[in-house]
Structure 1
């Protein structure tokens, strides 16, 4: 059953990439806290199952197909949420991919896909919700980055570039905003399906070996809940959440 805060009114929270990993865990945690979650992803079967499970546990959830690389699709996702609830309080820009590779492997299609999902997808989300939030004179945009946005490692040059860009966007938006709050959350090694997109088997095996110390995706869901449940005049701008054992 939901366990809403005694001090925080339920919010309408849109989550991209909600069909698995951090997105799914965040949806479950926010719904359990009494918030209305709007779930977006391409895998509609998973979205439907997640929505049904949240509602069976007493939560409020609504699913809508979403491809963050399609600006019109993102606008449709946001419009559906606004039509259903009459407002949009929070957007969690979570959708992302991580096909790591060395630059000299020249996996250009993968580079472009990371730019499209990890960077343009975030921009599309911001563009779709910002006018509504400005009209409401309130709102909160939470961008999921990575510790790879704080450092660069071999095989992660392009992935890190997209995550550095997400942090830069978040800071720029924060400085331009006085009524819309902005939070960037940078997870460390976290259990999810991100490694499935790695095409180089050697790199994939190396990363999956490191995942032995990974934290559960629920840890990031808790961080999102902490940020959005702060009083309106408190803006938690950046959270880094990594395993204690991660160097």
Structure 2
């Protein structure tokens, strides 16, 4: 493993940080000495996350941000730089998803997924690069999913969004790697979070059964924990400047 003590003193923005993976990433980075700016929509949950990090001796602050609001994302990044004088890392974790057959797809659901997962990532990357490129240094970690290249029925909108993030990340890496910027992705599979809590309960039983039939979901396979993903993010960020973990796939051992 990389020496995460090398992260001390850096400044990072983590989106979707009020719960689950984002919150775990923020805790992991703060424990390594990173000053973390947590961003999410839920003010109360953000405040709880920041309080927990500070209680453990870490440095953290909260900025309520909706990734669908371009101006808010710009303010998030600009504010972090204004307060701390730099931005070393951006972790694009915020994501939403809905389950519904494509034939019954609702435009508003697809729009919400694509605006948050794809355009939100794009705008955050663009805002971060405005400060990273002049310095010739900086790290961007974008969360992707196994569903980006596996056929998950009922989950087409989310899967399409993650495929877009994966491709966006590869293109961006090709554009900025020579200028000192690392663009990295983590592909995750079946993590125990609140992500499915917004799924339509009327559709969830049928979707779950179909996923089991296809071998995508195994009730006997332990789920990954958010902390597993957080350690992977810290590992990527802690690599020496000349090295880059372009893409990391994280699954339960049984998969």
**Both proteins in one fold, TM over 0.5:** yes
8 A contact 2:188–2:249 mirrored in 1: yes
Name the counterpart of 1:32: 31
Unmatched segments (≥5 aa) in structure 1: none
CA RMSD of aligned residues (A): 1.8
* 1:118-129 correspondence runs (5 A): 118-129=117-128
* 1:133-152 correspondence runs (5 A): 133-152=132-151
* 1:59-208 correspondence runs (5 A): 59-177=58-176, 178=178, 179-203=180-204, 206-207=207-208
Name the counterpart of 1:237: 246
1:219 lines up with 2:218 in the alignment: no
Residue 152 of structure 1 deviates from its aligned partner by 2.1
Residues 8 and 47 from structure 1, CA distance in 2 versus in 1: closer, same or farther, beyond 3 angstroms? closer
8 A contact 2:99–2:203 mirrored in 1: no
Residue 73 of structure 1 deviates from its aligned partner by 0.2
8 A contact 2:12–2:89 mirrored in 1: yes
SS class of match (1:201): coil
SS class of match (1:231): coil
Number of matched residues? 243
1:48-90 Cα offsets, whole Å, 9 max, x none, are 1111111111001011111111111001111111111100000
- TM-score of the pair, normalised by structure 2: 0.90
